[in-house]
């Protein structure tokens, strides 16, 4: 631990400061532990309330002290504490604790994460065994849960390094870190290793109310047992589990599960495209109305952008599925029946290609129509400003003349209130005359256009 601590806190001065903070944290933890013991032994309600308040005070003081420390010192303190004390400190700093996690050694990190202290709710390991033609699902919490079980599918969601290690040792398979799946080059996503295990890294579509994105998933087919590793739950996997549990004979091997996952992804992508169709139909009715305000146009542009994003992600997911299926067909790892299934899935993908291309064209059309509506609104605003400028142009000229000394000479002998009142009325008259003159010419021009259109018809 000493060498690791020196790596965490380089320099003698920094280490002394960290040791002082470590002593303070240990003191607060001891006081907090003492109060907890007193709380358990108390029988008087009033005293119990006092002890609980004191315990919360110590916890608040500990939280404030940790908040003032840099991540390097907190990591040093967590590593130096006893296991039960580490958890208390960890509970106070685990929100936004990625910088701290990056500094902790693997043994401490696994202790915090794998014992459900930081292991979040998403982490889950599920195995599926074939019984009477159906998949029987059971959760896996520890290696002993897999004893005597021959699964055809092991599904891992956000597995930690320790979990991947004992699953890999149990089945002699190398499971990747779901957080590093996006770092792979496109050419390295599909391959067969030296042991003959088939590895595929594909992007599956996730479409929710808040966002749409592609989630990378690692799929490993080893001796007809499928291992899937991903960072979060996906609708495609929920659908596959439900079908396999309720339909006898739906799958019979890990290869069948693999192909059905890709088929379910294509089906899910088709449903996403239907949502895009419905959204664009709603937007199209708004755009093609006689009048669209600027606020409505802004909302329409947002909806079109979201539809374009979902359409693009759907196309990417379908393209990735096509590449994976083509690799499986070339790799000669499928049976004749599975080859027929792959050809059916590829035909479905080809039908989706036409839909995505049509949606891209429709999105571009609606985008252009919305831009045109915005331009029309801007032209109307400019026209109003132009009319006002023309109306006030002669008024401004008269106002300039009224401010000259010659105007005072011309109105000598006339009381100034009367002179300026008459001048104001004259300006209003000139403005009104200009306004109605513009309206007359505008109506006459519109009438001429109508007559011209009738002659053309």
Cα 182 from Cα 203, distance rounded (Å): 9
Residue the block writes with tokens 């006002």 = 388
Residues 99 and 209 reside in one and the same domain: no
Helical segments of 213-292, H only: 235-246, 254-287
In degrees rounded to 5, what are phi and psi of residue 181? -70, -30
Residues 158 and 77 reside in one and the same domain: no
Domain of residue 439: give its range.
379-456
Cα 449 from Cα 188, distance rounded (Å): 66
Res 51: pLDDT: 56
Query: Which letter does DSSP use for residue 411 in this model?
Result: T
Residues 360 and 396 reside in one and the same domain: no
Q: How many CB atoms are located within 10 Å of the residue 376 CB?
A: 13
Q: Per-residue b/e over 272-289, b at no fewer than 16 CB within 10 Å?
A: bbeebbebbeebbebbee
Residue that terminates a domain, selected from 65, 84, 114: 114
Residue 148 forms part of a structural domain: yes
In the chain, the number of structural domains is 3
Residue that terminates a domain, selected from 325, 340, 374: 374
Residues 349 and 403 reside in one and the same domain: no
Cα 252 from Cα 268, distance rounded (Å): 23
Q: How many CB atoms are located within 10 Å of the residue 32 CB?
A: 20
Res 116: pLDDT: 42
Residue that terminates a domain, selected from 374, 392, 422: 374
- Pairing relation of β-strands 190-192 and 198-207? antiparallel
Residues 394 and 447 reside in one and the same domain: yes
Res 184: pLDDT: 53
In degrees rounded to 5, what are phi and psi of residue 200? -135, 135
Across-strand partners of 131? 134
Cα 235 from Cα 70, distance rounded (Å): 40
Q: How far apart are the first and last CA of the chain?
A: 93
- Contact yes or no for 304/283 (Cβ under 8 A): yes
Residues 436 and 308 reside in one and the same domain: no
Cα 293 from Cα 316, distance rounded (Å): 34
Residues 295 and 363 reside in one and the same domain: yes
Res 409: pLDDT: 57
| Residue among 276, 266, 256, 261 at smallest CA distance from 348 | 266
In degrees rounded to 5, what are phi and psi of residue 135? -85, 130
Question: What's 162's domain CATH number?
Answer: 3.30.460.20
Q: Which residues contact 52 (CB under 8 A, 6 or more apart)?
A: 39
Q: How many CB atoms are located within 10 Å of the residue 300 CB?
A: 22
Residues 105 and 236 reside in one and the same domain: no
Q: How many CB atoms are located within 10 Å of the residue 298 CB?
A: 12
Residue 140 forms part of a structural domain: yes
Low-confidence ranges of the chain (pLDDT < 50): 1-10, 45, 47, 115-120
Model pLDDT for residues 162-172, shown as the tens digit of each residue: 788 888 888 88
Residues 136 and 44 reside in one and the same domain: no
| Residue among 399, 28, 299 at smallest CA distance from 307 | 299
Cα 104 from Cα 112, distance rounded (Å): 10
Angle, helix 235-246 to helix 254-287, in steps of 10 degrees: 130
This prediction has a pTM of 0.62
Cα four-point dihedral sign 246, 251, 252, 258 = negative
């Amino acid at each position: 631990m000493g060498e690791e601590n020196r790596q965490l806190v380089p320099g003698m001065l920094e280490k002394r400061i960290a040791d002082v903070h470590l002593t303070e944290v240990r003191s607060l933890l001891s006081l907090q532990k003492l109060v907890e013991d007193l709380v358990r032994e108390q029988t008087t309600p009033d005293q119990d309330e006092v002890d609980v308040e004191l315990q919360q005070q110590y916890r608040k003081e500990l939280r404030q002290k940790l908040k003032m420390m840099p991540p390097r010192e907190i990591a040093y303190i967590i590593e130096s504490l006893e296991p039960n004390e580490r958890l208390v400190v960890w509970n106070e700093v685990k929100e936004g604790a990625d910088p701290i996690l990056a500094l902790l050694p693997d043994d401490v990190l696994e202790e915090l994460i794998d014992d459900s202290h930081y292991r979040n709710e998403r982490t889950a390991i599920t195995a599926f065994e074939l019984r009477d033609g159906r998949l029987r699902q059971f959760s896996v919490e520890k290696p002993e849960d897999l004893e005597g079980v021959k699964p055809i599918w092991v599904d891992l969601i956000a597995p930690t390094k320790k979990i991947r290690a004992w699953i890999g040792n149990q089945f002699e398979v190398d499971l990747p870190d779901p957080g590093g799946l996006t770092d792979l080059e496109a050419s390295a996503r599909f391959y067969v290793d030296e042991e003959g295990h088939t590895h595929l890294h594909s992007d599956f579509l996730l479409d929710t109310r808040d966002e749409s994105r592609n989630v990378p998933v690692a799929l490993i087919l080893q001796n007809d047992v499928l291992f899937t590793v991903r960072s979060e739950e996906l609708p495609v996997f929920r659908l596959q589990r439900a079908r396999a549990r309720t339909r006898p004979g739906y799958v019979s091997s890990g290869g069948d599960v693999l192909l059905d996952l890709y088929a379910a992804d294509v089906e899910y992508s088709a449903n996403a495209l239907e949502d895009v169709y419905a959204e664009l139909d709603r937007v199209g009715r708004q755009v093609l109305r006689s009048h669209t305000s600027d606020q409505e146009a802004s909302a329409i542009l947002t909806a079109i952008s979201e539809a374009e994003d979902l359409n693009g992600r759907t196309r990417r997911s379908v393209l990735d599925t096509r590449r994976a299926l083509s690799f499986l067909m070339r790799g000669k790892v499928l049976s004749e029946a599975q080859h027929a299934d792959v050809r059916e899935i590829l035909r479905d993908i080809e039908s989706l290609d036409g839909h995505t291309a049509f949606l891209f064209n429709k999105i571009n059309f609606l985008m252009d129509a919305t831009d045109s509506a915005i331009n029309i609104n801007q032209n109307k605003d400019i026209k109003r400003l132009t009319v006002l400028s023309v109306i006030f142009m002669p008024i401004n000229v008269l106002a300039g003349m009224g401010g000259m000394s010659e105007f005072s000479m011309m109105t000598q002998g006339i009381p100034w209130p009367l002179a300026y009142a008459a001048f104001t009325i004259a300006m209003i008259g000139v403005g009104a005359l200009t306004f109605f003159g513009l309206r007359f010419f505008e109506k006459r021009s519109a009438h001429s256009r109508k007559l011209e259109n009738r002659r053309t018809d």
